[in-house]
Amino acid sequence: VTLMGLSAGGASVHFHFFSPQSKGLFHRAISQSGTVLMPWAIQESGLQKTRELAESLNCLDSDTRTLIDCLKAIPADDLLAKTNNFYHFAMFPLAPFAPTVEVDSEYSFLKKHPYTQLNDGDAIDVPWLTWIAKDEGILGAMFVTNMLDHVETNWNELSEHMFDYKHVHTKSNKHDTAHKIKSHYFKNEKLSESNLNTLVKVFSDRLFNVGFETAVHMQSDVFDSPVYAAIYAFDKSTALKELLGCNLEGVAHGAESVLLHDTEVDHPAAVKIELSESEILMKDLLIDFLISFASNGKPTSSGVSWEPLTTDNPKYLLLNDFDDAQMVEIPELSQKEFWEGLKFMENKRAESLREEL
């Protein structure tokens, strides 16, 4: 069995590496634009959010077991509808609810934080193929392009929601953190249409790139199985952005999904996608990689050499086009040093995210 998923599905695939329940059930894994170390992938303040959700549904008992029984009796549609209460601004945070580190029991899916397990080399050792899109942050920026003045004026208040760090920093340095982010990326510029590409970069780095870069390097360092990492930079396909009404430049989150599945996107305006010749050739290249990896553990296609990322050879496959794919070293993929300098209480600084219900 080869697991494969996109976005939250990509992170879900990656979670299986860290669950004793999944051991022996899969032999390879493919994560598109999603790893367990991305800030939206794992739940913080889970108990607090559960109580808030329960209260909104009139489940008011203080005993957590009784509270759970009450929530289980609520129709799923009603539970889902209440998710809107947890979007504090526009569609942020992007994932209000996510998997949690559980109490250690026979049936726990996730007993320890994935970062801790990676650091200890305590995870399932199988080949992993993963990539991110060149401009993942379009997914975040597209929600605020029509309210830039509002975001600029209220940056210090909105930043923690947009970049998903509300629950991993102290309230006392809230405005200081927001100012550091704004100053680092925008220097002295005000947010405007002329620097939207910079806003895309902030979203890309915080929500995707740092977690991707950290995960692939840690996993390749501690396990024998290869890690194949790529940057999807094919910018000749705009179908997904057109369907979503997005006019931002770049290669958006999930852009390759339209090619891979060549079918209707789950969106009210979606229609059957007619692929261009270059899109078909890129689709064929991606499918070659996926099928060969699932078959023998090594992604191959005629004329393209995709080598594993290692400490001695820290290179990614840069997928610019079907005839322009090469291994490259990218020293500053994610502005990782800056984000780690903010000292959020996550990953290596998370003492424990386990909360019992």
- Token pair, residue 78, equals 């009603």
In the prediction, which pLDDT does 239 show?
65
Radius of gyration of the chain, Cα coordinates, nearest whole angstrom:
21
Question: Could you tell me if residue 122 is inside a domain?
Answer: no
Q: 212: domain CATH number?
A: 3.40.50.1820
Question: Could you tell me if residue 148 is inside a domain?
Answer: yes
In the prediction, which pLDDT does 258 show?
84
Question: Could you tell me if residue 297 is inside a domain?
Answer: yes
Question: Could you tell me if residue 59 is inside a domain?
Answer: no
Question: Could you tell me if residue 356 is inside a domain?
Answer: no
In the prediction, which pLDDT does 171 show?
75
In the prediction, which pLDDT does 276 show?
87
Question: Could you tell me if residue 245 is inside a domain?
Answer: yes
In the prediction, which pLDDT does 331 show?
83
**Residue 241 is part of which domain span?**
134-349
- Which is nearest to 231 in space by CA: 127, 336, 126, 326? 326
E runs forming strands in the chain: 2-6, 28-32, 128-133, 227-232, 300-301, 304-305, 316-321, 324-328
Q: pTM of this prediction?
A: 0.92
Question: Could you tell me if residue 326 is inside a domain?
Answer: yes
Question: Could you tell me if residue 301 is inside a domain?
Answer: yes
> Residues 99-146: pLDDT tens digits?
999 988 899 999 999 999 999 999 999 999 999 999 999 999 999 999
Q: Which residues of the chain have pLDDT under 70?
A: 238-245, 262-273, 350-357
Q: What order of strands is seen across the sheet that includes strand 2-6? A: 2-6, 28-32, 128-133, 227-232, 316-321, 324-328
Q: Count the residues in the chain.
A: 357
In the prediction, which pLDDT does 59 show?
94
Q: How many domains does the chain have?
A: 1
In the prediction, which pLDDT does 45 show?
84
